[in-house]
Structure 1
Amino acid sequence: MSVAEWIDRADGSSPWPRARTLVAGLGTSGFAAADALLELGAAVRVVDDSESAATAERGTLLQTLDADVRLGPGSTATLPDDVDLVVTSPGWRPSTPLLVEAERRGIPVWGEVELAWRLSRPSKPVPWLAVTGTNGKTTTVQMLESMLSAAGLRTGAFGNVGRPLMEAVLDPEPYDVLAVELSSFQLHWSHSLRMHSAAVLNLQPDHLEWYASSPDPMAAYAADKALVYERVTHACVYNVADRTTERMVEEADVTEGARAIGFTLGTPGPSMVGVVDDLIVDRAFIDKRHDSALELAKLSDIQPFAPHNVANALAAAALARSFGVPATAVRDGLRALRLDGHRIQTVGERGGVRWVDDSKATNPHAAEASLAAFEPVVWVAGGQAKGTTFDDLVRRHRDRLRGAVLLGVDREVVAGALARHAPDVPVIQVAASDTGAMAEAVAAAARLARPGDTVLLAPGCASLDMFDGYAARGDAFAAAVAALPETPGED
């Protein structure tokens, strides 16, 4: 049997030493994929146009393991003739010439997530609980991981949250269940995933530049998100407030017996989790769900508290309960969790003004969720807009804005929305793009703010135009706040 005859249904027991594979991109996931394929005995060629120190270090290590590594400009220009499978990094767009050529020649293209799923079968069939959506994925996965751990399960947060899924597959110690964050990019290159349960938290415009070659970028983005529900075996968790996510469940080809489970900030109906008074309650995974509810946790157990974070906790609770986690573990997991920084994190108080870092808000929908938690607000925004717009956000929240300070390459996109829908809101634009730009923005925000205001860094944009990532942007904001002069009369 030729490789072409078995590669489409390949798994961990397939004859990988016969396969000639190309790993496109040598980031974290690319390295993990190449390492796993080498361990299985496959012939591995790695290509990446980058010549960064990190890429070179990974390449050197893979070369010692017998990989053919080609780095530097032009390395990814053509697809070699002798390739049976391409494993692509998630950031590579479908319009990338090498991937287009693979499709033209009928060569399968997988992502590291797809590779990890296949290689875990049949010897390590660990259930995956998956989370996707435009915003809240990482927080929800961290909440889910904490709940699963509180139930005494061996678990971990994998996927887009930072740890490649191949790490779990190659770990000699078996896991009970995985909490998996999946981006639309990762789902696009996945074809056979079969989640135990999955959640789409919300759907808003984001990363539309990645889908620029599609006739309808937003529809293509949504279609990739919806893939997480395909073949689900137990529960499809959707957002009651976002009809699109429920429609995805209705249209998904799930395993017979899988249930649709809603989460809501309101009173839940049967087959939902929701909020009653100050409690998170379950009307989905109890015997008498038509006329009763089970307390899972208190709203005060959720930190930091904000409406969108309550929604994240509800989604995590639904996934955990679908796996049989007891109510006490949902509560204990929320209480034990300490989220990563840059998520609605108070970084200072000056003269009665609160300074909040939500640098993780990298699209308008995330910024809107953050804005909804504070009033009045001096809004610090801007960066890489990724093809999105801010008109709806400004229209809904203009009355809570004291002022706005804008920086970054696409600051005019935000400025235009403010001019159209909130012309009376003072706007200061920071033209600088060097390391001092954030300090200038913070100083401008301090001039606009009054006692009782919140200065909120919720950029609504990506950060790579000026920073190494959203964390570096948030760190710069916090450092600039710390450097502000003490205000007379400050407590």
Structure 2
Amino acid sequence: MTVLVAGLGISGAAAARVLLGRGDDVVLTDAAEPAVLAELVAAGARWLGPLTAPPEDVDLVVTSPGWRPDHPLLRAAADRGLEVIGEPELAWRLRVPGPDGGAPAPWYAVTGTNGKTTTVTMLESVLQAGGLRAVAAGNVGRPLVEVVTARDADGRAAYDAIAVELSSFQLHWSSSIAPAGACVLNVADDHVDWHGSFDAYRDAKAQLLRLAGVAVADAGNPVAASLVARHRHPVTVTLGEPEPGQLGVRAGALVDRAFSASPAGEVLVETDALQVRGPHNTVNALAAAALARVAGVDAAAIGAGLSRFRGGAHRNVLVGTVNGVDFVDDSKATNPHAAGASLAAYPRVVWIAGGLLKGADVDPLVAAVAPRLAGVVLLGRDREQLARSLARHAPSVPRTVVPSGDDGGVADVTDGDRVMREVVAAAVRLARPGDTVLLAPAAASMDVFTDYAHRGRAFADAVRALG
């Protein structure tokens, strides 16, 4: 079979390696790191440079999740009747059988506008606490195609269970993935620029549930809850007292009334034992627990796995306290829904916001959080949209705009680290003891910074420089 791999980032390069190892004829397009490209060509791949149509001998196209469906190459492939899939769909088709030729390792998959990575890494911790050889893969970092084809020293599948993070981009290019358990955490306005409409974005998320054994969602998110309500085995999670078929919170503890044999439910872990804070992280923990229950993990192991989980970088992390003011990095809050969840965790906030809003509407967010705001510092290309919303919904809140040289492309930006130092200095002037200076931008970072991690590091560096 001849496979065209379109896009040579981490997942594309991994797909090419696995396909070459199978003996497939692999054709490459798009730029790549020179060392990666040299490695793949040395292994037998053909690199053809930029393409606007697939070569005539191609049987299948594996595309990068960053490539939009209207890319000329992908449109040409569709016009020719070629199947176009993503790396996760390829991984699903190439799974290694389990012990003694049994079923491959089941997937426990998570999607949603926000909270995916936290929930998947929580789930990995819980599955491992339950004695399973488990790994987090997919959009969380490690390519699925590597994980599903990995073997241990005895030649068996290397993993018993896989905690899978999938983005809407990846799900758009998937058709046969059938996880044992699937969770749509939440669906809010995001990536409309890529999908073309909110309905198309929502439908991409819903794709994960189509063949899932059990479907999980946050009952507090109407869109996600409506998607699982149509499933044959729906489970929801709630921050309130759980009803039958739910996991929720009772008397300061996470309680399972969906999988427990007891009508009253079973206590999984005390909320005080969780090392990640905020209502949104409690929802993430409940969702991870629900998927772990699908995998057969008992309550004690769920409690152990959740209580030892410490969270990831740039996700509501306290980076310092200066003169009684806390500085919190939630650079991963790259859309209004995520920023709202972050802001809700603090009573009085100096909010650092702005970047690339990707077509999102910020009015509902600003109206909801206005009473918490002690001040706002704006940066990034779409800062004026935020400024107009603040003028409508929080006119009395002081705000500062920091020019960031972002009106051109990334190459025109002078110095993101310098910009962040100015942003933090402005936030200090607005804050008083007891406040939280919160970097929760509600926007993507690539107008000023390399990525959200660079933005978060620049924030932490600027805070440390305060002394």
1:230 maps onto 2:204 in alignment: no
Query: Does 2:414 match 1:439?
Result: no
Residues 389 and 413 of structure 1 are in contact (CA less than 8 Å); yes or no, is this contact kept in structure 2? no
Decide whether aligned partners of structure 1 residues 439 and 321 sit closer, same or farther in structure 2, where only a CA change above 3 A counts: same
SS in 1 for 2:134: coil
**Aligned partners of 1:371 and 1:360: how far apart in 2?**
13
Is the contact made by 1:408 and 1:465 (CA closer than 8 Å) also made in structure 2? Answer: yes
1:417 aligns with one of 366, 373, 389: 389
Deviation by residue 1:461-489 (Cα, 9 ceiling, x = unmatched): 111111121111111001101111x5xxx
Root-mean-square deviation over aligned CA pairs: 1.2
Structure 1 position 428, deviation (Å)? 0.6
- Secondary structure, aligned partner of 1:192: coil
**Count of residue pairs brought into register by the alignment:** 448
For 2:76, the equivalent position in structure 1 comes to 101
Q: Distance in 1 between matches of 2:251 and 2:368?
A: 26
Q: In the alignment, what sits opposite 1:426?
A: 398
Quick check: 1:359–1:457 contact (8 Å CA) kept in 2?
Answer: yes
Deviation at 1:77, TM superposition (A): 2.4
Q: State whether residues 184 and 224 of structure 1, in contact with CA within 8 Å, keep that contact through their aligned partners in structure 2.
A: yes
The aligned runs of 1:129-140 (5 Å cut-off) are 129-140=108-119
Counterpart among 63, 72, 75 of residue 41 in structure 2 = 63
| Aligned equivalent of 1:281 | 255
For the residues of structure 2 that align with 1:42 and 1:413, how far apart are their CA atoms? 49
Q: Distance in 2 between matches of 1:89 and 1:307?
A: 34
Contact kept? 1:24, 1:76, Cα under 8 Å = no
Matches within 5 A, 1:160-309: 160-173=139-152, 174=157, 175-212=159-196, 217-233=197-213, 235-252=214-231, 259-289=233-263, 292-309=264-281
Q: Is residue 148 of structure 1 aligned with residue 127 of structure 2?
A: yes
Q: CA offset at residue 170 of structure 1?
A: 2.1
**Structure 1 residue identity aligned to 2:340:** E
| Secondary structure in 2 matching 1:261 | strand
- Name structure 2 gaps, 5 residues minimum: 406-414
Quick one: distance in 1 between partners of 2:187 and 2:450?
26
TM-superposed deviation, 1:81? 1.7
- CA deviation after TM superposition for structure 1 residue 47, in Å: 0.3
The corresponding residue for 1:77 is 52
8 Å contact 1:102–1:108 — kept in the other structure?
yes
- Cα distance in 1 between the residues matched to 2:322 and 2:174: 48
Matched, 1:26 2:8: yes
Asked whether the equivalents of residues 46 and 70 of structure 1 are also in contact (C-alpha less than 8 Å), the reply is: yes
Q: What residue number does 2:313 align with? A: 341
> What is the distance in 2 between the residues matched to 1:120 and 1:35?
15
2:404/2:448 contact within 8 Å kept: no
Once the two structures are superposed, residues 347-367 of structure 1 have per-residue CA deviations (whole angstroms, 9 ceiling, x without a partner) of: 111111111111010100000
Q: Give the drift of 1:121.
A: 6.0
TM score, norm. by length of structure 2: 0.94
Measured against aligned partners, the alpha-carbon deviations of 1:207-230 in whole angstroms (never above 9, x if no partner) come to 111023xxxx10000000001101
Of 24-33 and 300-309, deviating more is 300-309
Secondary structure of the equivalent of 2:48?
Answer: strand
Flag structure 1 segments of 5+ consecutive residues without an equivalent.
1-18, 253-257, 487-491
The Cα offsets for residues 379-399 of structure 1, whole Å up to 9 and x where unpaired, read as: 001111111121001111101
**Aligned sequence identity (%):** 52
What is the deviation of 1:338? Answer: 2.2
Instruction: State how far apart, in whole Å, the 2-side matches of 1:389 and 1:249 are.
Output: 25
- Stretch moving more, 411-420 or 444-453: 411-420
8 Å CA contact 1:279–1:298 kept in 2: the answer is yes
Q: Aligned residue for 1:14? A: none
Choose the corresponding residue for 1:450, options 417, 432, 441: 432
Match of 2:410 in 1: none
Residue 191 of structure 2 aligns with an amino acid whose one-letter code is H
SS of the aligned residue for 1:101 comes to helix
Match of 1:255 in 2: none
- 1:11 match: none
Q: Is the 8 A contact 2:96 2:148 kept in 1?
A: no
Distance in 2, matches of 1:445 and 1:461, equals 18
- Residues 96 and 149, structure 2, Cα contact 8 Å, conserved in 1: no
Residue 370 of structure 1: which of 329, 342, 348 is its match? 342
Once residues 131 and 285 of structure 1 are traced to their aligned partners in structure 2, the CA distance between those partners, rounded to angstroms, is 19
Tell me if the contact between 2:354 and 2:379 (Cα under 8 Å) persists in the aligned partners. yes
Give the Cα separation in 1 of the matches to 2:63 and 2:82. 12
C-alpha distance in 2 between matches for 1:376 and 1:250: 37
Q: d(CA) in 2 for partners of 1:389 and 1:425?
A: 20
Instruction: Say if 2:441 is the partner of 1:462.
Output: no
CA distance in 2, matches of 1:396, 1:460: 14
Distance 1:334 1:232 in 2: 24
1:358 equivalent to 2:330? Answer: yes
**What whole-Å deviation, never above 9, does each CA across 1:226-268 have from its counterpart, x for those lacking one?**
01101112x111111112212212345xxxxx52111000000
For residues 374-413 of structure 1, the aligned pairs below 5 Å read 374-413=346-385
Quote the Cα distance in structure 1 between the aligned partners of 2:229 and 2:266. Answer: 26
The residue matched to 1:356 in structure 2 has which SS? strand
Deviation by residue 1:420-450 (Cα, 9 ceiling, x = unmatched): 1111111111112323100000000000001
Tell me the distance in 2 between the aligned counterparts of 1:358 and 1:428. 20
- CA displacement 1:16-36 (0-9 Å, x = unmatched): xxx111000000110111111
Task: Please give the secondary structure, in 2, of the residue aligned with 1:273.
Answer: strand
CA distance, structure 2, for counterparts of residue 390 and residue 426 of structure 1: 18
Q: Aligned to 1:146, what secondary structure does the other structure show?
A: helix
